[in-house]
Amino acid sequence: MTRFDGYKTDGFYDEMFFEDGSARPAVQMLVERISNFENGEFIRRQITAEHALLRMGITFNVYADEQGVERIFPFDLIPRIIDANEWEWIERGLKQRIHALNLFIDDVYHDQKIIKDRVVPADVVLSSERYLEQCIGLDPPHGIWCHITGTDLVRDGDGQIYVLEDNLGCPSGVSYVMENRQLMKRTFPQLFGMSQIQPVEDYPSRLLDMLQYLVSDRVISPVVALLTPGIYNSAYFEHSFLAQQMGVSLVEGRDLVVMDGYVHMRTTKGFERVDVIYRRINDDFLDPEVFKPESLLGVPGLMDVYKSGRLALINAPGTCVADDKVICSYVPEIIKYYLDEDIIVPNVPTYMCWEDDDRKYVLENLDKLVVKEANQSGGYGMLIGPHATRAEHAEFAEKIKENPRNYIAQPTLALSRVPVLIEDHFEGRHVDLRPFILYGEDIYVLPGGLTRVALKKGSLVVNSSQGGGSKDTWVLSGAV
Amino acid sequence: MLSRVAESIYWMSRYIERAENVARFVDVNLQLILDQPTGMQAQWDPLVATTGDDEVFEDRYGEASREAVIKFLTFDTENPNSIISCLRAARENARSIRENISSEMWEQINDAYLMVTETSEEWAMAEPHQFFTDIKVASHLFMGQTDNIMSHSEGWHFCQLGRLIERADKTSRIVDVKYFILLPSVSHVNTPFDDIQWGALLHSASAFEMYRKTHGLIAPNKVVAFLLLDREFPRSVLYCISKAEESLHAISGTPLETFSNSAEQGLGQLRSEFAYAQVDQILHSGLHEFLDAFQTKLNDVGEDIYKTFFALRPVNGESTQSQSQK
């Protein structure tokens, strides 16, 4: 008799159970433990955990919601477990991917060899909204552009893991990874003692190491700052959390000023020089003199200091070009071109609407596909064909015909599921996984990452802005 | 320390102190009324006068009834100095500097705010003593954490500065208002009720027991001296401005008895005025005038703190006002 009696996988790939209801090897102990809890004990712990989140103020902001500006990011106590072998494969795949993407970004802002060799069409790169001419010829420290990446992975119905997108902009969620872990340790201390779970707690130290690595050796004690848009940004909690964990200043644009060729912070004792900025604002807003002139979040003159080499920016401006969903679909070719290797973790198959054959297929099969704008994220600007109405299909068909370059389509994946506590029993809900990758002296992948879960029954959208929650992700270190 | 961070710490601490003071004097007044001779009109308007928001109150509520005053001072989100507004402002400030204060301090402020937002007005009206005690305890917990967890460096000194300046201001207002009300009631002089009233004034500043230990019998001039000029009682005006001065000098590094900015100069002058004052002289030449002048000078000090430490950033042409955050 287990607490999971009556739990159904409903024909989906379940991260915990086989189709016949037996537990996968890596989770057997967890299932046993949970089954041993007294009636109501698990629910009680879930409620306690939610209360703790509110108390700790681990919240995100919902735009256009005046009264309850902050919400907790719903958290579910059942962890998502990844065994050592599978993780080893994922880790290798992500390192390969980031290595190649970095070479690609550096190339498109310099010699553009990959374009000249006709591996990626010039049109695709140069027409991307995220390709920034202002960044041509820039040489970031150590040639690294994408220092921090939060690649989204999904598992399809047959168990295959795919890369959905890379999130090279300002990927958020790593603070939840650490807070979720802390919460789980508090809630199930014995379970942690018994399992061999790879730690995530050293992320802030690794992040700080990476940030300091980017400063030239001439600077004796480098000053690092984290640049936030402010307390009303949806990820403000994370900005403040990371600054606190690293012991660096959390600054807003108005705290910074460019003077004498350096960036300075305004302090109670006058101006203080800053050497490294981990910026959590988008390229467009960084410097009103170079990008959007109306930006109030950035710092006028910032890019000049960056170009002169007296400031490191993380990620490097211009990096997001590789986030363009059309460019993203060329990653297998990009990896082959720069590394002469086959891609390890494959991309989700993608149809490019700017190619005639693909577009024809997409328009004929809108009811089966997920259509996305090339430059949108956060679950905005997309059509989930099977769940959409006829009118929505027609609307997207028009949009695609009007601006084919701006749309891609992918098959609707049967995202894998994990049990979630719904009232007093467990039900399967769809999940994805966002591992975090740091590129400094070498490439490091945080074991696990953020498992986001679509809490609405049947929903495939895991974004926090649209009813998503999260789970702790355990990467086991030993063989099962 | 970033100017913006210093300013937020300063205001976070001021708002917490303000919420505590409001809770304390509402609570004292509630208890005082229980001791009033029957047939005597309950006095609620002085409470509003103490916060300096009497005009706003009159516009919005008119008559100063128990319910109206408690609502205005506690749950009215449109009154920027109500307990809920103060805690909200304290929390917003804390939220913008979470990485500079400890997690415990943040959680304490967050808890206090959540407690008030989750409390129903009905319950607070029915159990006011418990409610106001909870607010005071929350403030004390926060201050205790500040003292025991935060390094006593620049940030802590800004915290001190905010708390002490706010407290000096509130103590002076409580004395001002109460003295004005108590003095004319000649008929009650030397009656038990008079004793209770002056006792209540001391209670409003949590000073009753310490006063007893120092002066014994309750006498109006000694009560005033205790609340304004005592050197050891931590809520007296002199104590507050002396300690605030120490923190100010710790921040700038300038030795005491000298000054390097207008805030230090102003606060130093104010402190010496109090240090060398005598209560009978103050009463003789007019307590109200004395306190009025004090509050103006204290506002100027707040202004100078702003200009000296926080205004390094371009100011967007706002008018300055020291009683609330810019």
DSSP assignment of B220-263:
HHHHHHHHHH-SS-TTSHHHHHHHHHHHHHHHH-PPTT--SSHH
Q: Sorting pLDDT into bands at 50, 70 and 90, what band is B91? A: very high
Q: Would you tell me which residues 176-205 of chain A have a C-beta closer than 8 angstroms to some C-beta of chain B?
A: none
What pLDDT sits at residue B40?
62
Q: Is the pLDDT of residue A25 over 80?
A: yes
Arithmetic mean of pLDDT, A172-178: 93
CB contact under 8 A, B98 and A240: yes
Same domain, yes or no, for B24 and B170?
Answer: no
* Structural domain range at position B146: 1-150
pLDDT at residue A221 greater than cutoff 70 = yes
Is A378 a residue whose pLDDT tops 70?
Answer: no
Backbone angles phi, psi at A299, to 5 degrees: -130, 120
Residues from chain B contacting residue A243 (CB–CB below 8 Å):
99
Q: What is the pLDDT of residue A136?
A: 95
Q: Which residue in A has a C-alpha nearest to residue B77's C-alpha?
A: A67
Using pLDDT thresholds of 50, 70 and 90, give the confidence band for residue B313.
very low
How many Å separate Cα A429 from the centre of its chain? 20
Check pLDDT > 70 for residue A1. Answer: no
Residues 147-176 of B with CB under 8 A from A: 154
Q: What is the pLDDT of residues A32-52, one digit of tens each?
A: 888 888 878 888 988 888 888
Domain termination site, one of B82, B115, B150: B150
- Among B112, B133, B150, the domain-final residue is B150
- For A14-17, the CB contacts below 8 A with 24+ separation are A14/A416, A14/A417, A14/A418, A14/A419, A14/A428, A15/A80, A15/A81, A15/A155, A15/A416, A15/A417, A15/A418, A15/A431, A16/A78, A16/A81, A16/A418, A16/A419, A17/A419
Indicate if the pLDDT at residue A358 is higher than 60: yes
Rg (CA), chain B: 19
Same domain, B230 and B117: no
B63 and B178 co-located in one domain: no
Element (H, E) at B42: none
pLDDT for the residue A65: 45
Per-residue model confidence (pLDDT) at position A314: 95
| Judgement on whether residues B96 and B172 belong to the same structural domain of the protein | no
Residues of A in contact with B4 (CB under 8 A): 252, 254-255, 266
pTM for the full predicted model: 0.83
Are B172 and B109 in the same domain?
no
Residues B170 and B40 in one domain: no
pLDDT given for residue B185 in this prediction: 53
* Same domain assignment for residues B78 and B135: yes
Mean pLDDT over all residues of chain A? 90
| A255 → closest Cβ in B4, B106, B107 | B4
CB A142 within 8 A of CB A148: no
CA distance, residue B92 to nearest chain A CA (Å): 8
A104-151 confidence digits (pLDDT tens): 999 999 999 999 999 999 988 998 889 999 999 999 999 999 999 999
The complex scores an ipTM of: 0.73
Read off the pLDDT of each residue in B136-155 and give the average, rounded to a whole number: 93
Sorting pLDDT into bands at 50, 70 and 90, what band is A68?
low
Cα–Cα nearest to A472, from A175, A96, A69, A180: A180
Q: What is the model's pLDDT at position B37?
A: 66
Residue B319 has pLDDT above 60, yes or no: no
Weakest mean pLDDT among A14-23, A247-256, B29-38, B302-311: B29-38
* Residue-level pLDDT at A59: 72
Tens digit of pLDDT for each residue in A444-453? 999 999 999 9
**Can you tell me the mean pLDDT for A175-191?**
89
The CATH number, out of the four listed (3.50.50.60, 3.40.50.300, 3.30.1490.270, 1.10.1840.10), of the domain defined by the range A351-411: 3.30.1490.270
The pLDDT, as a whole number, for residue B314 is 39
Using the Cβ of A250 and the Cβ atoms of chain B, whether some distance falls under 8 Å is answered with yes
- State mean pLDDT over B277-282: 94
pLDDT above 60 (res B180): yes
B174 in the same domain as B122? no
Please report the pLDDT score of residue A64 as a whole number. 46
Whether the pLDDT of residue B187 is over 60: the answer is: no
Rounded mean pLDDT, B63-67: 85
B320 pLDDT more than 50: no
Is residue A19's pLDDT more than 70?
Answer: yes
SS3 assignment, position B87 = helix
Looking at residue A431, its pLDDT comes to 96
Token pair listed for A96: 């390969």
Instruction: Look at residues A20, A16, A7 and name the one whose alpha carbon lies nearest to residue A83.
Output: A16
Residue with tokens 């060729």: A261
Q: Is the pLDDT of residue A66 over 50?
A: no
Q: Across residues B4-32, what is the average pLDDT? A: 91
| Rounded Cα gap, residues B135 and B270, in angstroms | 31
Report how many domains make up chain B. 2
In a mutational test of the B interface, the residue from A242, A268, A273 whose CB has the highest number of chain B CBs within 10 Å is A268
Judgement on whether residues B63 and B166 belong to the same structural domain of the protein: no
Residue B96 contacts A where some CB pair is shorter than 8 Å: yes
Query: Domain map of chain A by residue range?
Result: 351-411
**Residue B109 pLDDT exceeds 90:** yes
**Is some CB atom of chain A closer than 8 A to the CB atom of B312?**
yes
Q: Are residues B98 and B8 in the same domain?
A: yes
Give the pLDDT of residue A78.
92
pLDDT at A219: 79
Summarize pLDDT for B194-207 with one digit per residue, the tens: 778 888 888 888 89
- pLDDT score, position A73: 81
> B144 and B178 in one domain?
no
Percent of chain B with pLDDT over 90: 55
Terminal-to-terminal C-alpha distance of chain A: 23
**Among B119, B150, B181, residue at a domain's last position:** B150
Chain B residues within 8 A of A241 when measuring between CB atoms? 98-99
- Give tens-digit pLDDT for A261-289: 999 999 988 889 999 999 999 998 999 99
Task: Give the DSSP H or E segment for A2.
Answer: none
Q: Are residues B35 and B146 in the same domain?
A: yes
